[in-house]
Structure 1
Amino acid sequence: MRILFVDIDTLRPDHMGCYGYARNTTPNMDQICREGIRFDQYYCSDAPCLPSRASLVSGIFGIRNGAVGHGGTAGDRRCTGRDRGFTDQLDDNNFHNIFRRAGMHTASVSSFAERHSSWWFDAGLHECYNVGRYGAESGEEVLPIALDWLRRNKDRDNWYLHVHFWDPHTPYRAPASFGNPFENEPLPTWIDEQVFALHRRHVGPHCINELNMYNDDTNPACPRALGKAETMEQLRQVLDGYDCGVSYTDQLVGQMIDLLKEQGVYEDTAIIITSDHGENLGELGIYSEHATADYPTCHIPFILKWPGGPRGMVESSFHYSLDLLPTMADLLGVDRCANWDGQSYAPVITRGEATGRDSLVLSQMAHVCQRSARFGDWLYIRTYHDGFHLFDREMLFCLKDDPYEQRDVKAEHPDLLARGAKLILDWQDEQMLKSDSQIDPLWTVMREGGPYHTQGHLEEYLKRLEATGRSEGARKLRERYGI
């Protein structure tokens, strides 16, 4: 069997045609979707990049594997400790090793492990190809390596290839030669002049006034990434930049698909298309970042074309990305590990039988410290560190009516607020009872000075707020943080 895993960084499902987007951003991936299964309620358990892939490859929530941040103690996976064998059980049972244990030759084209010093990601791989630019590379540097690998292995059966594209990730790095295929198209956005005016008053990093996180600096080498957007036309540039990254990546995927068809192996090749996390594009006042434990950040696409599996099916149950590990183990006949938190959804693929979870708990500790509960039509968010955005401690959104999280309805639904809080509390208790550590890494992050991307920035940012007409926001931040 052949399996191609297309790992597209920072990809929002609602910016893909097969998920209903009005712009023609993903015709190649849309075609794969028509030949397989589209999962509509698929989420990373831990956001953003490093925590998401740590949970994916381990099959274990960040609260137990320990890698929930982008720096400090919580930027590393926990050591196994005294029970470690000659090799580490976490590595022996990680995602890539499932394919290897199934007798497949495994390879990856990705710079992720080096970007985050997360070398556990490479466990189980026979071959690793790293462009060496710490994730700053464009797909035009990644694709030739992937195509060369496919050509050299055209006569090999039983392989697994992971290919990682970064182009939808800021600074929206589709090459200049790609142009902007959307420049004459209407801007499909919920952000009108009134909403944009509110966002211009927003406080917090990666708002529309500080797209470069804490300032409006621009990089001439990345013309698609503005430092700030003061007009609706500049807002268009921001959103077009993201869509260009998505569309460019789709063209790269199309070239791999064309080669598989040319080699006569496409029909027999399983194809997985997914992402590590989504992107805030105005939700909660945040742009061009994956900074929260909310719907746009944690909701991710998942498309699976499996030889002999369902075609054109839509699966609408709740799933975590870490559920993929036991699912692949079941599909490939590999023994599951009792330590995994993931739940297999193999029956969806083998029998077209919907199966999933009743609710999910989502976490973010790199830009904010938040945990959220996703249940029914609802998203409950509990904030421990607001990342300087002045979020309320609790927020509640009805995603069916308000997918862009514009209206916090907690005052209208105290019963749902309590239900969301209880889901998180019960989940936390369950995980800590299973954990080998007595410490929830959320509190490690808090005790080490807060989320990595907030450390050392507050004083400078307060001065910027005061200098740009947002002194009231600066006053509230000083009050909240005791300055």
Structure 2
Amino acid sequence: MRIIYIDCDSLRPDHLGCYGYDRDTSPTIDTIAERGRRFTNVHASDVPCLPSRTALFTGRFGVHTGVVNHGGLNATVRPRGTARGFNTAFDGYQTWMSSLRHAGLHTALVSLFPQRHGAWHVVDGFDEWHDTHGYRADHVYPYAEEWLEANAESDDWYLHVNFWDPHTPYDTPSEYGDPFADESAPEWLTDEMIADQRESYGTMSARETGDDDLERTPEELTTREDFKQWADGYDTGIRYMDDYIGRIVEQLEDAGVRDETLFIVSGDHGENLGELNVYGDHQTADAVTSRVPLIMSGPEIEPGVDDSLRYQLDLPPTVTEYVGGEIPDHWDGRSFVDALNGVTDPDSDREFLVFSQGAWACQRGVRWDDWLLVRTYHDGFKDFAPVELYDLSADPHETTNLARENVDVAREGIALLEGWQSARLAESATGTAGGNPDAPRALTDPLVEVLEEGGPFHPRNDIDFDDLIHRLREAGDERHAKKLKIHEGFVPQDIDAYLTGENVWKHE
């Protein structure tokens, strides 16, 4: 068995041709999808980068591992505790890669991620790790090329290749040009919406999207032309990365093993491109940041489409079962291996999904039916309501908060969210699923710990709070400046009052 996982940072599915995008961003990925199975409703359980990949490689929710942030106490996996044995590779909490090694696969990683985030637990179970020391596909691919030249024709291996090109800053080489110069930007974002966003505030918002020295992104957005420049930069990064993925496919074809190789294409999270007034980052617990592509193509995979709600951490047990391995006792994921052949398995389907954000804001979102509810505890110095509700079928870009218009639906989402949280903490108390009662702080919700530290890592460490308030006042925005000064990012939690239309903000 040969497996190659193409891990594309910040890749949102709806900017791929195989997911219905009208720009030709992904001819290689689209071809892989034509030969395989495409999953349309897969979400990372915890975002962004470090929480997401921790969940993927451990097979456990962030509420169980403790990793929901990019720094501070909750950027490190909670220790096993007093029950830790001499060797942790066989104790039921082992990593995904350890399980594949037990199944007889040689495992290799091509990525700078462990070094970038201090995520040494990600390396656990890999036989080889190749740090690319660079982000662009032209930096990453040579490591994969060399590895495949030496190993492609061997059997029983897993290769994980991490590309970064859709991640900000969009720095595809200038000589690559602009393949989308003559194409319009996605139509959903209008000039009127941009004008409304500019009445709001926050880093990576329409007012201040980035560095004016960057070639492919505007410093701020005032019109759809600015938005086109932004979308072009993102889409060009996807197309550039896709070219190098094509080279990997060619190598396997040249080695005569393409048809014997399981291809997996996914990402660690999506990328907000104007949704919720966030541009070119992954700062929310919504369907845009948490939803990821998942394409699987290879032996015994029935081509088709799967629309079931699934977590990305359901992938480790699925692949482990696919190769004949043993699924550990303490993973939160559910195998959907039968779905790879188009077989419906109610035991693998999820009725709803919950995802967390603890690095740029403190939020949890819940996705069920066509609804998305986002509850915000700390807004990361952005203009978020305590509860936001979106109808994703009619409003996939989350433009209209319906929480106060559909109070009963909002309460249903809150009940799902609170029930999920209680169930996960009960697992931590009893040592079931991914819960570990021997871990320090096992019964403390890690998002609560983030709040105790003063809020999410990036706003707390990367933003000059006093300067932000000063800039708002300089721009004549006294209302938002006062809100920040009083609340310091902590969102009022009187949900009943908010849903019934009461003013919960002290500054208004």
**Which category of TM-score, normalised to the shorter sequence, fits these structures?**
over 0.9
Identity across matched positions, percent: 40
Q: Does 1:470 align with 2:468?
A: no
The number of residues matched between the two structures is 473
Q: TM-score, normalised by structure 1?
A: 0.95
Query: In 1, are the aligned partners of 2:92 and 2:328 still within 8 Å (CA)?
Result: no
How far the C-alpha of 1:475 sits from its partner, in A, is 2.2
1:279-318 to 2 correspondences below 5 Å: 279-311=271-303, 313-318=304-309
Query: In 2, are the aligned partners of 1:98 and 1:328 still within 8 Å (CA)?
Result: no
Point out where structure 2 has 5 or more consecutive residues left out of the alignment.
429-436, 489-505
> Quick one: which amino acid aligns to residue 475 of structure 2?
T
Q: TM-score, normalised by structure 2?
A: 0.90
Q: For 1:171-193, what per-residue CA distance to the aligned partner results, in whole angstroms no more than 9, with x for missing partners? A: 01222221110011122231111
1:352-363 to 2 correspondences below 5 Å: 352-353=343-344, 355-363=348-356
Task: Name 1:392's counterpart in structure 2.
Answer: 385
Query: In 1, are the aligned partners of 2:194 and 2:222 still within 8 Å (CA)?
Result: no
Q: 1:348 aligns with which of 316, 321, 339?
A: 339
Structure-2 separation of matches of 1:10 and 1:476: 31
Residues 384-393 or 344-353, more deviating: 344-353
> Quick one: which amino acid aligns to residue 423 of structure 2?
E
Task: Name 1:427's counterpart in structure 2.
Answer: 420
Structure-1 separation of matches of 2:254 and 2:153: 13
Task: Name 2:235's counterpart in structure 1.
Answer: 243
1:324-473 to 2 correspondences below 5 Å: 324-350=315-341, 352-353=343-344, 355-435=348-428, 436=437, 437-456=442-461, 457=463, 458-473=465-480
How far the C-alpha of 1:85 sits from its partner, in A, is 1.1
> Quick one: which amino acid aligns to residue 133 of structure 2?
G
Task: Name 2:257's counterpart in structure 1.
Answer: 265
Query: In 2, are the aligned partners of 1:37 and 1:310 still within 8 Å (CA)?
Result: yes
Structure-2 separation of matches of 1:119 and 1:192: 43
> Quick one: which amino acid aligns to residue 479 of structure 1?
I
Query: In 1, are the aligned partners of 2:62 and 2:68 still within 8 Å (CA)?
Result: yes
> Quick one: which amino acid aligns to residue 65 of structure 1?
T
Structure-2 separation of matches of 1:92 and 1:190: 44
Structure-1 separation of matches of 2:189 and 2:151: 47
Task: Name 2:195's counterpart in structure 1.
Answer: 197
Task: Name 1:138's counterpart in structure 2.
Answer: 136
Task: Name 2:109's counterpart in structure 1.
Answer: 108
Task: Name 2:224's counterpart in structure 1.
Answer: 232
Task: Name 2:503's counterpart in structure 1.
Answer: none
Q: For 1:306-359, what per-residue CA distance to the aligned partner results, in whole angstroms no more than 9, with x for missing partners? A: 312202x10000000110111112112211111111111011114543651110
Q: 2:270 aligns with which of 278, 297, 319?
A: 278
Structure-2 separation of matches of 1:333 and 1:31: 27
Q: 1:320 aligns with which of 311, 315, 321?
A: 311
Query: In 1, are the aligned partners of 2:373 and 2:413 still within 8 Å (CA)?
Result: yes
Query: In 1, are the aligned partners of 2:191 and 2:223 still within 8 Å (CA)?
Result: no
Point out where structure 1 has 5 or more consecutive residues left out of the alignment.
none
Query: In 1, are the aligned partners of 2:93 and 2:330 still within 8 Å (CA)?
Result: no
Task: Name 2:153's counterpart in structure 1.
Answer: 155
Query: In 2, are the aligned partners of 1:109 and 1:145 still within 8 Å (CA)?
Result: yes
Query: In 1, are the aligned partners of 2:33 and 2:296 still within 8 Å (CA)?
Result: yes
Structure-1 separation of matches of 2:201 and 2:5: 38
Task: Name 1:60's counterpart in structure 2.
Answer: 60
Q: For 1:375-402, what per-residue CA distance to the aligned partner results, in whole angstroms no more than 9, with x for missing partners? A: 0000011110011113111111100011
Structure-1 separation of matches of 2:189 and 2:18: 22
How far the C-alpha of 1:78 sits from its partner, in A, is 0.6
Q: For 1:222-271, what per-residue CA distance to the aligned partner results, in whole angstroms no more than 9, with x for missing partners? A: 42233323333222111111111111111111111111111111011000
Q: 1:367 to 1:91 in 2, by over 3 A?
A: farther
SS in 1 for 2:259: coil
SS in 2 for 1:476: helix
Query: In 2, are the aligned partners of 1:91 and 1:120 still within 8 Å (CA)?
Result: no
